[in-house]
Structure formats: structure tokens, C-alpha cells
Structure 1
Amino acid sequence: MVEPADVTETRAAYDLVAEDYADLLRDELTGSEYDRAMLGVFAEQIARAGGGLVGDLGCGPGRIAGYLSRLGMDVAGVDLSPRMVEVARRDHPGARFEVGSMAALPFADAELAGALAWYSIIHTPEERQGDLFAEFARVVRPGGVMLLAFQVGDDVVRITHAYGHDVELSARRQDPDRVRVRLVDAGFTPTADLIRSPVPPEKVRQGYLMARRDG
């Protein structure tokens, strides 16, 4: 099967920026009480249900996986970019990391107690997002928790410079109502959502959506 051009493009861009991306966002969570609050609820709900393996899908340099690991969670991160995974393994030894695609996750059916896609659905075209969410549903066990974070909007942004490098990359802002419908169609029941105002240098509102796997 021929890899979609946008997937090849995304891998190349993140391989290029991996070190600078990690350095720039290393302490980002310390200044974002909303991020920490949503991750805290996510962690608490999984612990209340008995715990288990959590997947950080599109984990980048592992900052969210590392944070959850420090909260005592068992975390496995997956990312398309080999360079991002190298950085994640170096910087966050408390979690496991593997190179892989969100469209074909390296987990068995219902293996995960929960999963999050933290600003990682944004590079998947609209026409493939239904399949992407179905893959999320495949790996999360019934009763498991799914958490998404994304930029709010309905447009595609073409990125040509990021983290000090010239790149070619598209990012898709997400309509929260459309995301919610896709979750339901995939077999999740939305349980909470939060839309917050942008905090500079952010330019648009930020969205978080939490759901529980049906069954």
C-alpha cells in the first residue's frame, strides 16, 4: 500500500524539528492549568476504573506521556517520527515509546485502559478521520477513556516554518461538534468537553474532548 503523501510529509517535518520542538515545549504544562486539569481528570478516571496501560497516540517527544508516567500511570507512546521517538526515549525513561502510525496502532484489540491524542489528529485529512477514530476505538477497552486536544476552527493551515526550521506541513483545526460526532460513530460516548480562549502565542481557541468507550 502506498503511503499517503501527507503522512510522508508529516514524518519528515517532525523528524526535522524534533530537538527544537522538545526544547521549546518542555515546560509547557507548568503554565497551562487547563491542560493539567484535563490530564488529571483523565488519570483519575482510569485509576478509578482499575488502571491499566494508557496509549499516548502521536506522542511527539513524549512530554505528555512523561507527565502521566510521573503521575504513576503505565504509558506507551506511539509516534510516526523516528526522531521524535528517540527524543522521547531519552527524555522520559519512565514511559515506553514506539515508532508507529495512529492509523494502524501497535496494540491488541481492547488492550488500553485509555488513550489520548494530544494535538495529534490535526494532520489527518477529514476524509480519513472516521477510520482514525475507529482505530482508537479498536484499542481502547469497553469503559476505557479517550481524551482529545486540538485547535478549534474549520480551516487548514499550511505551515512552512516551525521551531526554527523550514518545513512543509498542514494542520487542520477541528470543529468540536464534528469531532464529537466522529467519536460517537466510532463507539464512544462523550463525557466532558472544554473550549478555552487562546493564550498568546496561541491564535485560536483550544478544545478538549473526553469520552468513554461503549460496551
Structure 2
Amino acid sequence: MRTDDWLADTRTSYDTVATSYADLLRDALATAPDDQAELARFADMVLAAGGGPVADIGCGPGRFTRHLRDLGLDASGIDLSPGMIEVARREHPGIRFEVGSMTDLDLPDSSVAGILAWFSLIHVPDAEVPTVFAHFHRALRPDGVLMLGFFTGDETRLKTEGYGGHPMKVHVHRRRAAVVASWLEAAGFTVVTELHRVEGRSAGATIFARRNPTT
């Protein structure tokens, strides 16, 4: 699959579902104490290191970006889908949201203290993950904090419908946490913590990592 093919399919899919996605998940974080605890941990790590700008990459309609702001972080959002960014700007005025791709991340070198990629890596093919992690490493300050959330497992499936029954065409990649951790280490990160959840098809992991200060 060519890079532009999966990017175009992902962009179109999330443009199609942007409004229904936001409506369906608007209040989901309020009933997800594990997610709240992990985001609070991320915020504490960033603030303990001196704070600074934080990028929510793959921000969707901006609900996690808003939550990070509520936790005291200077958070902004980036998403591949213009439709998602339109919803985010409408629902969270005063927060900066921009269209962009994690495979060609338009952030200056060493410009952010933290990066959140919450289940946004799941549509990126294995061959493109090193490029994504290289951009994360470049954009983060030395010792900056990265928080990744992703589905765990070994399978890839094609998602053709979602969020209110709208058509989609995105591949959902499940990966072993150990594999993701090894890719991070190869990209110049130190893995700080791995957290795992076992919830059937929603089984997932969260990895907290830091950019190595000497790389």
C-alpha cells in the first residue's frame, strides 16, 4: 500500500464520520477513570520537567486536547482530517487546532515538551512507524514526554463502517507492546512505563516514554 493511499483513505474516512464521532464520544472521557488517570500522569510528567507546549497528534474533535488544557498543559491539536479539525475548532474555541500528518509533522525541532498520540498510530502501517517516531523524537525537547495509546494484538483488519454506520476505509493495526517499545528505543526514546488493559477486542496498552537527552 502506497503512503498516499492509506493517508487519503484515512483522511476521507474521518472527514465522513467527524460529526457523528464527536457526538458519540463527547462525554466518554467522563466515564473512563483509567484514561483520566493516565492523562493526569502524562500532565504530571510534563509539568515536573518544567512544562511547555504539548501536541495532541491525531486529536480528532479535540476532547483530549481540551482535557489536557484543563490539567494545566499548554496543549494544541493536530489531525489529518480537516473535518475533525473543523469540529474541534467549533467545539473548543480558543485552542489551536491544525491540519497535519504525523508522517510529515510540521513542528519545529525540539519545540514541544510533550506529545500525546492516543490511538492515532493504529492506522499507520508498520513500514511508516519509524518515520512517525523520528518526527516525534525531532519535535520533542530532550527528555520530553511521549504518551502512546494503541490496541494490542497481532492482527490487522479493514474497518469499513463506523460511528453511526458511515462508510470508512481504514486499516486498524494491533501490535504487541514489546514491539512498539523496541521501535521507540530504536528511535531514541527510553520507555518509562507500560500499562496494559485486557478488554476483549478493545485490549490495549499505553506507553510512556522520554526522548533521550543525548540523542
Partner of 1:163: 163
Partner of 1:71: 71
C-alpha offsets along residues 118-171 of structure 1, whole Å, 9 cap, x if unaligned?
000011101111111111101010011000001111111111110120221111
C-alpha offsets along residues 21-59 of structure 1, whole Å, 9 cap, x if unaligned?
011111111111111111001001111111100000111
Instruction: Compute the RMSD of aligned alpha carbons.
Output: 1.2
Partner of 2:202: 204
Q: Matched residues in 2 for 1:105 and 1:197: separation?
A: 32
Q: Matched residues in 2 for 1:213 and 1:16: separation?
A: 35
CA contact under 8 A between 1:118 and 1:150: conserved in structure 2?
A: yes
Partner of 1:7: 7
C-alpha offsets along residues 80-109 of structure 1, whole Å, 9 cap, x if unaligned?
100100101111224210001111112100
Structure 1 segment 23-34 matched on structure 2, within 5 A: 23-34=23-34
Which amino acid is 1:70 matched to?
A: D
CA contact under 8 A between 2:43 and 2:72: conserved in structure 1?
A: no
Shift of 1:204: 3.2
**1:178 equivalent in alignment to 2:176:** no
TM-score (norm 1): 0.95
Which amino acid is 1:93 matched to?
A: P
Unaligned runs of 5+ in 1: none
Shift of 1:14: 0.1
Change (3 A) 1:178 1:51: same
Partner of 2:42: 42
Unaligned runs of 5+ in 2: none
Question: Which structure is higher in helix share?
Answer: 2
Tell me how many residue pairs correspond in the alignment.
211
Q: Matched residues in 2 for 1:95 and 1:183: separation?
A: 29
Q: Matched residues in 1 for 2:94 and 2:150: separation?
A: 26
Partner of 2:121: 121
Q: Matched residues in 1 for 2:82 and 2:162: separation?
A: 18
**1:213 equivalent in alignment to 2:211:** yes
Secondary structure, in 3 states, of the residue corresponding to 1:107? coil
CA contact under 8 A between 2:17 and 2:162: conserved in structure 1?
A: yes
Secondary structure, in 3 states, of the residue corresponding to 2:45? helix
Runs of 4+ displaced beyond 3 Å: none
Deviates more, 1:185-194 or 1:87-96: 87-96
Secondary structure, in 3 states, of the residue corresponding to 2:123? coil
